[in-house]
Amino acid sequence: MTLKELRSTFTTGLSGNYPAEEIQSFFSWLAESYLGYSRFEVSMNLNETVPDEVQTKFSEALIRLKKHEPIQYILGETEFYGLPIRVSPATLIPRPETEELVQWVIGNSREKLPNLTKLNVLDIGTGSGCIAISLAKYLKNASVSALDISEEAIVVAKENALLNDVAVNFQQADILAIKHLPQQYDIIISNPPYVRELEKKHMLPNVLAHEPETALFVSDKAPLLFYEQIAALATTSLTPSGTLYFEINEYLSEEMHQMLQEKGFAEIELKKDLFGKFRMLKCKLTS
């Protein structure tokens, strides 16, 4: 089968399941991963015969895409803040709003770097390790630790640290069971589970069917469970000039603000993402 025939079979096989443009993007990503061809190289080599094993890989990908499995899980990799990040069904696929959070932290922290010899950072609920690894990569004086309840996620996060040539101290731990953090941190950051059960009906089927439940959902009755626990731990584990950063549920920004105020946090700042939604928050212990 030629590359042209393969593309045609792939496109026909998925039509009706996804918009035409998305199918072309899937084909391009798979061609890059399985053949090492850029979009341009695909168009230059359409008459080339595709090896049987590559045809098989495309057929398997097609079956998984028909089941609405995210392309990132099929490829086993995505990009986060310009870095390659491996993902598995045990890890959430990193989202663009999380890149915005990382950008915010890096921008704020770089301003302060000359005054700090070392920056101790803790990422809670690290998943693929995307936040911890990008902070370790771009904040050169940061000493980064990260934890997650999922052993499988920690395995992937460790692979990602190696892949990106950074040192991060990853630990498996349940943040809800921790009474004290082991040291003082200049930055505590978390993108914890925050989607309420009641929001499930607005979510895409590929997210619901394939991404890990423990990474996403909280009960309708206690939607701030993780934030309350992390904020409580931060009251004794943030350095006096330290900052607590959260990615937040766009529908719960007021509740977050109030909860943090009640716990004694100051300089609480909400930040909108590119779509104009409050998705990030930072605060300090004292003004």
- Which residues bind to ligand SAM, rule: CB under 6 A? 92, 94, 98, 125-128, 130-131, 147-150, 153, 174-176, 191-193, 214-215
Shortest gap between Cβ of 39 and ligand SAM (angstroms)? Answer: 27
| Contact by Cβ (8 Å): 107, 122 | no
75 vs 175 by CB, closer to ligand SAM: 175
Smallest gap, in angstroms, from Cβ of residue 172 to ligand SAM? 9
Q: Least separation, in Å, of the C-beta of 24 and ligand SAM?
A: 27
Rounded Cα distance between 218 and 229, Å, is 13
CB-CB contact of 121 with 170 (8 Å): no
CB of 3 to ligand SAM, least distance (A): 34
Smallest separation, CB 210 to ligand SAM (Å): 14
Q: Which is nearer to ligand SAM, 148 or 273 (CB)?
A: 148
Pick the closer one to ligand SAM by CB: 58 or 217.
Answer: 217
Report the residue number, 58 or 160, with the smaller CB distance to ligand SAM.
Answer: 160
User: Which residue, 10 or 123, has its beta carbon nearer to ligand SAM?
Assistant: 123
Q: How far apart are CA 68 and CA 82, in angstroms?
A: 25
Q: In a 10 Å sphere around its CB, with 0-12 CB exposed, 13-18 middle and 19+ buried, how is residue 276 labelled?
A: exposed
User: SS3 for 51?
Assistant: coil
Residue 247: is it exposed, middle or buried by C-beta count within 10 angstroms (0-12/13-18/19+)?
buried
